[in-house]
Amino acid sequence: MSAPVLTRIDTGVAHIALNRADKRNALDRASIAALSATLERCAADSAVRMVQLTGTGKAFCAGADLSEMQAQARAGETDNLADARQLAAMLATLDSMPKPTLARVNGDGYGGALGLMAACDLVVAVDDAKFAFTEVRLGIVPAVISPFVLNKIGESAARRYFLTAETLTASMLRELGLVHEVVATDQLDATCARLTQALLAGGPEAQAEAKALIREVASSTSDNRAAASAAAAARLARLRVGAEAQEGFAAFFGKRKPSWRQD
């Protein structure tokens, strides 16, 4: 079995890739744990100046592994809470990384993928990628990722897209503040290389202090997003075991419309 996350360190850059291309890099327990451990190692490794996160294959990340989530829906709320908190901890590690982080968004991203993007400092996305907060169509909510995402797109956009689950383009996400640059696929690597060089030109201690400064100025406490995400994990755990989520997952895997769809 291949590793769920691939890591390569080259001239100060930790290239991290979600490695479940056959599952469109969906996040399961193993990949979340592997990504958390990798990010922690990068934070502590003086040889790592910055982190670049991407996906293997054609997708960036399909969000949560729905097969695993279907099984979680049959588990108890306590088990669901533990899983949700695992995701919250990983996003907090990425969000609080003292080194610059760059999301190389090579394809589509749904649900949790948008949390990964929101937790990164810079985001470059290919112009043909599609995105959506799809959770409500399964009877759940984007609870754990919400503090990180709302910090980027604001309440107004969240009120629309968390509820409608409309498809978003990379250009739309740029307008909302979640993506910094939108490029053609053949320009993705060159653009990431340009931004990488700009980041490597800065002093590592100064960059760590700059990130801390931004967090402190933007919020009353430097850890409130992580705390809010962890608290929201309880809401997600409760919803996952509820009747609406059971119906949402049953409809998805049964290739039918859920009971709340009237069209």
Helices 224-240, 146-164: axis angle to 10 degrees equals 40
Q: What is the pLDDT of residues 178-222, one digit of tens each?
A: 999 999 999 999 999 999 999 999 999 999 999 988 887 776 554
Fold of 5-185+199-253: 2-enoyl-CoA Hydratase; Chain A, domain 1 (3.90.226)
Instruction: Tell me the whole-structure pTM to 2 decimals.
Output: 0.91
pLDDT at 97: 97
For the chain, the domains span: 5-185+199-253
What are the start-end ranges of the H helices in 26-75? Answer: 29-44, 66-73
Q: What is the pLDDT of residues 41-90, one digit of tens each?
A: 999 999 999 999 999 999 999 999 988 887 777 778 888 888 899 999 99
User: Closest Cα to residue 48, out of 15, 12, 16?
Assistant: 12
Distance spanning both ends of the chain, measured CA to CA: 42
Which of 152-166, 172-186, 213-227 has the least mean pLDDT?
213-227
Amino acid letter, 17: A
CA dihedral (158, 161, 162, 166) in degrees, to 10, reads -170
- Residue pair 192/52 in contact by the 8 Å Cβ criterion: yes
Pairing of strands 168-169, 130-132: antiparallel
